[in-house]
Structure formats: C-alpha cells, structure tokens
Amino acid sequence: MRLQNMLLAATLALPVAIAGCAASADNPMVGGAPMYESKNIVENASNSKDHETLVAAVKAAGLVETLQGEGPFTVFAPTDAAFAALPAGTVETLLKPENKDMLTKILTCHVVAAKALSGPIKGMVDDDSGAHPVKTVGGCVYTAMYKGDTIMLKDGQGNISNVTIADVEQSNGVIHVIDKVLLPAS
C-alpha cells in the first residue's frame, strides 16, 4: 500500500513539474529573474541581478526611453562581471555626467536596429564564410562568428565576447547576454 501511495503522489506531482518546466522554457531566467516576452528590454534587464551595471549605465546615458521604444532592437547585454573585468575605475569614469557622450557611444555599440535571433545570425555567418559584419546603432561594426552553439563577437579592439544566453525575446526585440563589454575601435 505504501508503494501505491508513493506512485500516486509521484503521478500527481508529474503534471505540476512538467508545467513548471514549460513555464521556465517560455520565460528564460537571466540573473535569477524570469524574462517575459511581454516586457520590453529595459523592464526585463532591470529585473536581472546580473545586469545592474548595464541598467545604471543605460539610465546615466539617457537611453531608457529609447530602449523601451517600439524597436525592434537586438541588445548584446554585458553582465556585471563583464563590466567588472574592465580596467579599474573605467565604469565609474564612464558614469560621470561629463562622459555621457562616450558612455552613450559604448552602449549604442551594443545595440542593433533589428531583431536578430541566433539562428539567423549563424546563417548570416555561414553566408559570409564564417565572419559576418554587425553594424550597430552607435556606428560600430563588429564581427559575428560562431563555434558549435556559441555565437561570438569580435569588437573594434579585437576582443572576443561570447553569447552566454541567447535569444531572450522581448516585446521590442531580443537580448543576447554576453561575457565581455564590446569596445569601439580606438
């Protein structure tokens, strides 16, 4: 009888577990928070504990309203760890009001004026023999590549950033989480 009760409990719990998996597949987790396709880029990024520096920078640059706009946008979103890997004092310097133009340039060089999911990005890379130019809103041109399932971007200084979480869809585009801050050419 005890075995029957355990099987019954497991059987009753299975639909709940499956429903929970379906919910997280629909709303990927980024920085410990679900990302909702019905919310815009700023709303979702503001909930990610891994993107507090990015959100602060977007606010300091005055880009909140833009990134809440209709889009579509693709945002390559560096994590807090990516910002922390910059030379000491860089973030603090960029957040100063007198450096707003430079901050805006760096941030807009993380944005593409289109919704670019990983599948089509890989297709463009394949069409261009392994390296596709990516033109950003900030006027930077980076190079998209991939190895296996990982999309990589080479920035203007030759640094390689990896997409660690791809295809986080938003109401006004898509976010790809990256592990380095993309820098314009010097």
pLDDT over threshold 90, residue 12: no
- The DSSP element (H or E) to which 126 belongs, if any, is helix 118-127
For residue 84, the SS3 value is: helix
Residue 2: the pLDDT is 45
Contacts of 160 (CB under 8 A, 6+ apart): 152, 153, 154, 180
| pLDDT tens by residue, 87-99 | 999 999 999 999 9
Q: Which residue type, as a one-letter code, is found at position 46?
A: S
State the pLDDT confidence band at 9, using cuts at 50, 70 and 90: very low
- Cα distances from 20 to residues 13, 29, 166, in angstroms, run 11, 13, 21
Residue 18: the pLDDT is 36
Residue 52: the pLDDT is 95
State the pLDDT confidence band at 29, using cuts at 50, 70 and 90: confident
| pLDDT tens by residue, 123-144 | 999 999 999 999 999 999 999 9
Please provide residue 12's backbone torsions phi and psi, each rounded to the nearest 5 degrees: -70, -30
State the pLDDT confidence band at 20, using cuts at 50, 70 and 90: very low
| pLDDT tens by residue, 33-53 | 889 899 999 999 999 999 999
To which residue do tokens 């390296």 refer? 131
- The encoded tokens of residue 61 equal 């640059």
| pLDDT tens by residue, 130-180 | 999 999 999 999 999 999 999 999 999 999 999 999 999 999 999 999 999
| Averaged confidence pLDDT in the chain | 87
Give the span between the Cα atoms of 74 and 116, in whole angstroms: 6
Give the span between the Cα atoms of 37 and 44, in whole angstroms: 9
Q: Which residue type, as a one-letter code, is found at position 100?
A: K
pLDDT over threshold 90, residue 60: yes
Residue 47: the pLDDT is 92
Contacts of 34 (CB under 8 A, 6+ apart): 23, 24, 27, 28, 47
CA quadruple 78, 80, 83, 85: dihedral, nearest 10: -110
